[in-house]
């Protein structure tokens, strides 16, 4: 567990050391020996924010410190922290601090500070997490997909499901599949198992998932709370203590069973591909 935590902390330290530089999610994730896809999901579960939100908060903190204790021009500080113009920097600064960059130079002005993260995993016990590791043959899904940015996906993916509920496209909505595209972006599929003898519904596509080992986690209770709770446990409790396996593939799946009469009896699953070490 210690090695995993240390690797993740190295990625945080790398961000801190390069705040004024252009930060690339691929390079950040590499410091933790993770793919960008998994790194961003683990970061969100552990830290309660996206990588992008953390970087912006830290840049706004250090920019304010620089404004208050130096004579550097606002335009130079804006450029240093990656803003194309003083106006865009000023808007971001005001959203974070509630004041303008010019006001930050006034004596006694109140500034906000977001401290660097230090990852510590505290295993307190008593939390039950039901899962099994299963071997699955290759299978094909059929569904509709939409591309999302990791920074806004928590808000936008539920909207996608709501839209689908109004026009189900001939789908049952058994799966929610996340498929990595390019680090910060991923394709989210609302999908079913593909049955070759049936026509592909209009606007739908197919995608084949390779044979793999999968960790299959049971989620019991109302949605989305049950899924969110288990998802946090996976990354903060299960993964740090995982032995003999490592994460595989740049995708993960949610599996939805038919709704129960009592929401407390609802069963769903989170599935993550693995490979043996």
DSSP-derived secondary structure for 59-127 = HHHHHHHHHHH----HHHHHHHTT-SSHHHHHHHHHHHHSS-TTGGGSTT------PPP----------
Q: Give the orientation angle of helix 2-17 with respect to helix 36-47, to 10 degrees.
A: 90
28 and 40 in contact (C-beta within 8 Å)? no
Tokens of 39: 């790194």
Distance CA 268, CA 239 (A): 20
> Residue 85: what pLDDT?
86
Taken in order of first residue, the domains within the chain and their CATH numbers are 2-105 (1.10.10.60), 131-276 (3.20.80.10)
> Residue 1: what pLDDT?
46
Cis status, amide bond into 45, omega within 30 of 0 = no
203 Cβ partners below 8 Å, 6+ apart?
Answer: 144, 169
If we measure between CA atoms, which residue out of 240, 61, 38 comes closest to residue 25? Answer: 38
- In this prediction the pTM is 0.80
All residue ranges of the chain with pLDDT < 70 are 1-3, 120-128
For the chain, how many residues are written? 277
89 Cβ partners below 8 Å, 6+ apart?
Answer: 63, 74, 77, 78, 81, 83, 101
The proportion of the chain whose per-residue pLDDT surpasses 90, expressed as a percent, equals 35
> Residue 137: what pLDDT?
94
If we measure between CA atoms, which residue out of 239, 169, 175 comes closest to residue 199? Answer: 169
> Residue 3: what pLDDT?
62
Tokens of 139: 């299978």
Tokens of 275: 């490979």
137 and 156 in contact (C-beta within 8 Å)? no
Place of tokens 């004579």: 71
Cβ neighbours of 7 (radius 10 Å): 15
């Amino acid at each position: 567990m210690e090695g995993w935590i240390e690797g993740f902390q190295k990625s945080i330290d790398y961000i801190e050391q390069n705040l004024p530089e252009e930060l690339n999610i691929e390079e950040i994730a590499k410091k933790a020996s993770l793919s960008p896809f998994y790194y961003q999901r683990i970061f969100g579960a552990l830290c309660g924010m996206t990588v992008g939100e953390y970087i912006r908060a830290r840049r706004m903190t250090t920019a304010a410190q620089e404004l208050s204790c130096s004579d550097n021009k606002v335009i130079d500080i804006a450029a240093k922290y990656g803003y194309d113009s003083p106006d865009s920097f000023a808007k971001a600064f005001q959203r974070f601090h509630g004041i303008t960059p010019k006001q930050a130079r006034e004596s006694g002005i109140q500034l906000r500070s977001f401290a660097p993260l230090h990852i510590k995993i505290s295993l307190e016990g008593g939390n039950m997490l039901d899962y099994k590791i299963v071997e699955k043959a290759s299978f094909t899904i059929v569904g509709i997909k939409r591309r999302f940015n990791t920074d806004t996906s928590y808000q936008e993916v539920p909207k996608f499901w709501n839209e689908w509920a109004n026009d189900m496209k001939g789908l049952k909505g058994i799966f929610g599949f996340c498929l990595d595209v390019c680090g910060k972006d991923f394709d989210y599929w609302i999908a079913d198992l593909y049955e070759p003898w049936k026509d592909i519904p209009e606007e739908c596509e197919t995608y084949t998932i390779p044979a793999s080992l999968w960790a299959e986690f049971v989620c019991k209770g109302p949605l989305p709370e049950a899924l969110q709770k288990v998802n946090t446990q996976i990354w903060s409790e299960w993964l740090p203590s995982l032995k003999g396996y490592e994460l595989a593939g740049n995708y993960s799946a949610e599996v939805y069973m038919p709704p129960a009469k009592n929401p407390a009896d609802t069963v769903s699953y989170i599935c993550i591909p693995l490979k043996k070490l």
